[in-house]
């Protein structure tokens, strides 16, 4: 049931975007109860996500991403 700090960071990142399941979040909570470094990381990550939401930042559309990939491939 134990996870590494790397796994905890991955679950933390995915849970910020509602992409983790119940068991992963439970493992993360248990890990953070023992690891102050990961607990601090989780707090900072949540704060960053909140700031990005407040700033109204958005992602590129899939079409824009594909266009950028084509441009990069053409330049290579």
Residue 16's pLDDT is 86
pLDDT in tens, 5-59: 999 999 999 998 889 999 999 999 999 999 999 999 999 999 998 998 888 877 8
For the chain, domain boundaries: 5-75
d(CA 14, CA 54): 19
> Which structure tokens are listed for 55?
């700033």
């Amino acid at each position: 049931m134990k996870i590494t700090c790397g796994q905890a960071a991955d679950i933390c990142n995915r849970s910020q975007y509602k992409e983790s399941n119940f068991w992963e979040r439970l493992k993360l909570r248990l890990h953070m109860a023992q690891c102050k470094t990961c607990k601090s990381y989780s707090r900072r990550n949540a704060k960053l996500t909140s700031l990005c939401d407040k700033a109204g930042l958005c992602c590129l559309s899939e079409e824009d991403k594909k266009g950028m990939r084509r441009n990069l491939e053409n330049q290579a």
